[in-house]
């Protein structure tokens, strides 16, 4: 197989949804049908001590939620699949936004009973703004839910995108027994079992005129299905590959991740329709997958994937060129050459040493603290600089300090590593060494921070809430002494020593801007490339 053929068979995508829509369960079932696992865990299966493969942190297992993105890779149907399972909870949306920088498409999971929800709407906008193709999987059709036509209208009205159902649920009033593939005109009827989705379901497939299908369908169900299909053919949007590729039309699939309804047909069709690795916009212009020189960017840092060794892994998306084990690359942010040591690919925490990888692949390299989110590595004669990575606005702030001064060293290491992950934003106060100010999107981030410091670094911490809900950076970083109206503000400094103004509310932030009309105040740090001129 040529290098170009290897590139073209890559499929790198994220799975996004509102919490509890079934995103992590769908990820598990894709792994099951992809042959990467043989028994699917469930975040509900406490009695059997089985958990979702992608929920590898102890706190994720305890809470039954995803708090960090997971990287999962396997081969299926001639494709190399790279899945990035993202947190659904709004408190961890910044992790999701960064992860979406590394994908070529996204699967949007929607609960059949709830339709489009708030977090789904936010994540869809991020994908839409970046032109990421979006595929929709309507989940939980084994439960009572909205009429499929109402869901199509919901997607159009709330998200502003047309949908094209690639399959259609078979059944009435939420009592579904399978799906109908519109392209192949094949019905897939599923046999219910008592494994609760842990194993592949038996399937009976055939045309609507097949006696084996007719005998298993109630006449009313069969008639209703034919009426729905006729209406879709007449009034629905036809599939348009060009519109789907540009995020203007979402191919729509129905199924149930928990019971395996429609998962395998979805996987096979998705891999057929999803785009191979795409070019990336960089400060120098465009970098294409087929460019021969190697380039990659870091979209995620994860500390303590192996708690026993306190390791630190930098996850990279390969943009161009072929990666080979032991390659020496230029770190654009420092101007220094570095060797990418112990490169690995992942199935959550399970690791495989990488000898060779291609554009679209996600690899993890051990890092001693040199790399940061948004950093770029490349061949020395092929300078590539990643565009600015998103930093979400913090809405909550707290003062963080160790309970014991004897644990100060572990405290500083833990806070530093978790800040580099992007799990929290850390600010300092002048001349204060024993505590930090931490910012987060929501309370759950603080709880996870406290848990990880205590369990991964052995540090009991004190967290004191602060009465601020807004942060502002001043463009050009003028001296705080030149800014008027800061009586109600706390002035802290970010990791690049830029002054940051913490304010009680948005009204006070607007008032600060009015008091200083010559200064532009920003919701996030000023964009900087951080590229060394060495």
Same fold across 3-68+89-97+104-273 and 396-522: no
**Residue 67 reports pLDDT greater than 60:** no
Q: What is the pLDDT at residue 61?
A: 44
CATH code for the structural domain at 3-68+89-97+104-273: 3.40.50.300
Task: For the chain, give the percent of residues with pLDDT over 70.
Answer: 84
- Taking alpha carbons only, the member of 187, 181, 250, 248 closest to residue 213 is 187
Contact 181, 188 (CB under 8 A): yes
**451: Cβ contacts below 8 Å, ≥ 6 apart:** 59
Contact 321, 4 (CB under 8 A): no
Q: What is the pLDDT at residue 145?
A: 85
CATH entry 2.40.50.140 includes domain 280-378: no
Give just the sign of the alpha carbon dihedral 250, 251, 254, 256: negative
For the chain, what are the domain ranges?
3-68+89-97+104-273, 280-378, 396-522
**pLDDT tens-digit readout, 176-199:** 888 999 999 999 998 766 666 666
Task: State the average pLDDT for the chain.
Answer: 83
| Average pLDDT score over residue span 193-215 | 80
Q: Which residues pair with 338 in a beta bridge?
A: 329
Q: Tell which wins on pLDDT, 211 or 93.
A: 211
**pLDDT tens-digit readout, 479-504:** 999 999 898 899 999 888 899 999 99
Q: What is the pLDDT at residue 449?
A: 85
Q: For the chain, how big is the Rg over CA atoms in Å?
A: 25
| Sequence-ordered strand ranges (E) for 182-322 | 186-190, 203-206, 249-254, 280-282, 285-287, 295-303, 312-320
**pLDDT tens-digit readout, 346-381:** 665 567 888 899 999 999 888 887 888 888 999 887
| Average pLDDT score over residue span 269-278 | 95
Would you tell me how many other CB atoms lie within 10 Å of the CB of residue 67? 21
Q: What is the pLDDT at residue 392?
A: 63
**Residue 289 reports pLDDT greater than 90:** yes
**Residue 522 reports pLDDT greater than 90:** no
Minimum mean pLDDT range among 9-18, 30-39, 207-216, 391-400: 30-39
Distance of CA 299 to the CA centre of its chain: 11
Q: What is the pLDDT at residue 507?
A: 94
396-522 fold: Alpha-Beta Plaits (3.30.70)
Minimum mean pLDDT range among 204-208, 422-426, 518-522: 422-426
Q: What are the two backbone dihedrals, phi and then psi, of residue 116, each rounded to the nearest 5 degrees?
A: -75, 125
Phi-psi region of 77 (alpha: psi -120 to 50; beta: other; left: phi over 0): left
**pLDDT tens-digit readout, 454-470:** 888 899 999 999 999 99
């Amino acid at each position: 197989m040529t290098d170009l053929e290897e590139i073209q068979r890559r499929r790198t995508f994220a799975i996004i949804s509102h919490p509890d829509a079934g995103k992590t369960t769908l990820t598990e079932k894709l792994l099951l049908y992809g042959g990467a696992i043989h028994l699917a865990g469930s975040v509900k299966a406490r009695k059997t001590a089985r958990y979702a493969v992608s929920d590898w942190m102890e706190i994720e297992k305890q809470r039954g939620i995803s708090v960090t993105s997971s990287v999962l890779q396997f081969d299926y149907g001639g494709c190399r699949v790279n899945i990035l399972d993202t947190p659904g909870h709004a408190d961890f949306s910044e992790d999701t936004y960064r992860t979406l920088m590394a994908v070529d498409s996204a699967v949007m999971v929607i609960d059949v009973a709830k339709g489009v929800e708030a977090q789904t709407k936010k994540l869809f906008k991020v994908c839409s703004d970046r032109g990421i193709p979006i595929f929709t999987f309507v989940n939980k059709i084994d439960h009572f839910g909205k009429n499929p036509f109402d869901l199509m209208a919901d997607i159009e009205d709330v998200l502003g995108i047309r949908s094209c159902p690639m399959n259609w649920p078979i059944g009435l009033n939420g009592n579904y027994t399978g799906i109908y593939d519109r392209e192949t005109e094949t019905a897939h009827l599923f046999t219910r079992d008592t494994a609760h989705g842990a194993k592949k379901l038996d399937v009976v497939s055939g045309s609507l005129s097949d006696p084996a299908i007719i005998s298993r369908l109630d006449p009313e169900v069969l008639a209703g299905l034919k009426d729905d299909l006729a209406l879709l053919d007449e009034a629905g949007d036809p599939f348009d590959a060009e519109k789907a590729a540009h995020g203007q039309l979402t191919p729509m699939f129905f199924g149930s991740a928990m019971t395996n309804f429609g998962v395998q047909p979805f996987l096979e069709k998705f891999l057929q329709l999803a785009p191979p690795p795409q070019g990336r916009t960089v400060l120098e212009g465009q970098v294409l997958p087929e460019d021969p020189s190697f380039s990659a960017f870091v979209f995620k840092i994860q500390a303590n994937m192996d708690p026993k060794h306190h390791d630190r892994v930098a996850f990279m998306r390969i943009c161009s060129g072929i990666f080979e084990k032991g390659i020496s690359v230029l770190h654009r942010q420092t101007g220094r050459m570095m060797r990418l040591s112990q490169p690995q690919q992942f199935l959550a925490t399970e690791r495989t040493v990488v000898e060779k990888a291609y554009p679209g692949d996600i690899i993890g390299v051990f890092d001693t603290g040199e790399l940061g989110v948004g950093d770029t590595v490349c061949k020395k004669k092929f300078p590539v600089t990643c565009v600015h990575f998103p930093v979400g606005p913090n809405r909550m702030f707290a003062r963080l300090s160790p309970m014991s001064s004897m644990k100060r060293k572990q405290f500083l290491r833990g806070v530093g590593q978790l800040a580099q992950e992007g799990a929290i934003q850390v600010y300092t106060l002048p001349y204060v060494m024993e505590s930090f100010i931490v910012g987060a999107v929501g309370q759950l981030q603080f709880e996870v921070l406290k848990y990880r410091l205590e369990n991964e670094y052995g540090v009991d911490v004190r967290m004191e809430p602060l009465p601020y809900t807004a942060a502002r950076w001043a463009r050009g970083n003028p001296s705080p002494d030149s800014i008027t109206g800061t009586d109600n503000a706390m002035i802290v400094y970010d990791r690049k020593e830029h002054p940051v103004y913490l304010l009680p509310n948005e009204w006070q932030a607007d008032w600060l801007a009015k008091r200083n009309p010559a200064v532009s105040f920003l919701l996030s740090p000023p964009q900087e490339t951080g590229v060394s001129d060495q």
